[in-house]
Chains A and B, each alone.
Chain A
Amino acid sequence: GQQLNQSPQSMFIQEGEDVSMNCTSSSIFNTWLWYKQDPGEGPVLLIALYKAGELTSNGRLTAQFGITRKDSFLNISASIPSDVGIYFCAGFPGGSYIPTFGRGTSLIVHP
């Protein structure tokens, strides 16, 4: 099946720092989604990307769909304590309606 490599696995940062995480795939994806999951809850959509090269922002979050269509990154600027959680990337292989998820990046923000 499809493989998504998400990195880093975890991040420990100070409040106010910027954060960057990324996902890479061995094959081309048509759509990239970024989700955040809090403990004991389901993932919540942050950003959806549909075109190669697309750069989309949602408040302090910015995500980009890589030009090769095999990668995507998510940046969080000026982190705050409520950014704590696990961030997942998900991608749709060409022609599929079923997204594959990365293993997640666990973010801890120290006040």
Chain B
Amino acid sequence: DTGVSQDPRHKITKRGQNVTFRCDPISEHNRLYWYRQTLGQGPEFLTYFQNEAQLEKSRLLSDRFSAERPKGSFSTLEIQRTEQGDSAMYLCASSFRGSGANVLTFGAGSRLTVL
């Protein structure tokens, strides 16, 4: 059981730099989610994929953010021209469309610190 893998676990960058996070979902899961979590808050939805199609994006996902899932397997979340307000934990989750649906399995997260 490999679970959901996220890389890197921690990233420290300077304001204005670009960063990219990778998520490897559970292999048979066709749904993939990105959430952002700041201290003292619950996860906030960013975007959702079903297979390779990006079906929904939150208003939180500004034009500096882009997410892809090119072959319906792993996904990347890129943040361009990072700002201090981007500092947060970025969580990836996956689920299976079928019985027991709507149960999201989360990765350990990628913590971003923008200096």
- A residues apposed to B, CB below 8 Å: 4, 6, 30-31, 33, 35, 40-45, 48, 50, 88, 90, 92, 97-104
Contacts and interface: CB of A to CB of B under 8 A. Distances in A.
B45 A88 contact: no
Interface of B: 4, 6, 31, 33, 35, 40-45, 48, 50, 56, 91, 93, 100-109, 111
7 contacts: A33-B103, A35-B106, A42-B93, A48-B100, A97-B31, A98-B48, A104-B42
Nearest to B59: A1
Nearest to B35: A101
Given A42-B108, A97-B31, A98-B56, A31 B102 contact: yes
A88 B41 CA distance: 10
Contact of B106 (A6, A44, A103): A44
B42 A48 contact: no
Contacts of B50: 97
B91 A42 contact: yes
Contact of A88 (B43, B101, B102, B107): B43
A96 B33 CA distance: 13
**CB-based closest 10 A-B pairs:** A101-B42, A42-B106, A31-B102, A101-B43, A42-B108, A42-B109, A103-B42, A43-B106, A42-B107, A48-B103
B48 A97 contact: yes
A31 B101 CA distance: 10
Given A33-B103, A99-B102, A41 B109 contact: yes
Given A43-B43, A98-B33, 5 more contacts: A4-B42, A30-B102, A42-B6, A90-B104, A104-B41
A103 B42 CA distance: 4
A97 B28 CA distance: 17
Given A33-B103, A97-B31, A102 B42 contact: yes
B1 to A, nearest CB: 13
B105 A88 contact: no
